[in-house]
Chain A
Amino acid sequence: MIVLALASAYGFWYQRSRGVIKAKERAVVITAQMIGAPLGSRASLVQFSSAFCTPCRATRALLENVVEDLEDVVHIDIDAEDHLELVRQLNILSTPTTLILDSKGHEVGRAVGAPKREQVLNALAAIR
């Protein structure tokens, strides 16, 4: 019973926290070289994925769809397993984790878990 109660508490927290975009102000500047792809002229959505991750697929589909209509935003999907140094440097703990970068490569937001379309659009709209 205790196990199930603790698991439930964690479960509710888990469901509420996954996919929520949190504003970040980080000193680390992410360059095109670090992620192996050019950044968007206004913003970039950098997704970290792994093989054993069901929501990574849905996240990829969503973000690809979002950037389709936006000329100045790119989506970059990175296999976390192949980029462990970067994963450590950026303190990425689970997949999918999506970083929202401005044009200079500053991390302005981060979502752990599959984000919601509206939240992604709102976060992008705030970036000039």
Chain B
Amino acid sequence: MTQVKTQVNPSTVIDARGARFSAAITTAVLATALATSNLWVIVAQAIVFAIGAFRGPQFTPYALIFKNIVKLRLKSAVVTEDVRPPQFAQSVGLLFALAAIAGSITGISGLFVVAVSFALAAAFLNAAFNFCLGCEMYLLLLRARKPQAS
């Protein structure tokens, strides 16, 4: 019955269905970017990722479509989630999008393809399988960043 809470403080919650809807649109946009190798598609997606990463995933254009159109038509119960996991995922998405833009501008098409592919895979997994990028990556990043004391 003992509860020990070293957990982080509760923060803003958002509609989890919105985050998943956004991931579905992101998947379509990134698939288009990969299929057409079009720089401007990935630039547009990078802007969306940037809004999601810095302001919050509930403020992206995709989230606004969800809030103003899709949500009104949904009858299922609202499922909320902490805003930080999707915000983390948006930041990772932004990094991949920036890498893809860099690849496109410098003419390293391999970088563009690999970066967009990773972002596409993550967005697709999120939309289709409820994949939690922060769960899988954050701890590994921390472990890699802070080397062992010994």
Contacts and interface: CB of A to CB of B under 8 A. Distances in A.
Contacts, number: 123
Interface in A58-108: 60, 64, 67-68, 71, 74-82, 84-85, 87-88, 92-96
Contact of A37 (B2, B124, B143): B2
A87 B139 contact: yes
B148 interface: yes
Given A11-B128, A50-B135, A79-B8, A87 B1 contact: no
B7 to A, nearest CB: 5
A68 B2 CA distance: 9
B70 interface: no
B8 A6 contact: no
A3 interface: yes
Interface stretch (B39-47, B80-88, B93-101): B80-88
B3 A75 contact: yes
B50 interface: no
Contacts of A119: none
Contacts of B133: 52
Given A52-B88, A94-B140, A77 B131 contact: no
Highest count of chain B CB atoms <10 Å: which of A12, A78, A94: A94
Interface of B: 1-8, 16, 31, 34, 81-82, 84-89, 117, 120-121, 124-125, 128-136, 138-140, 142-143, 146, 148-149
What 8 A-B pairs have minimum CB-CB distances, sorted nearest first? A52-B134, A11-B129, A52-B88, A7-B121, A37-B4, A53-B135, A74-B2, A54-B85
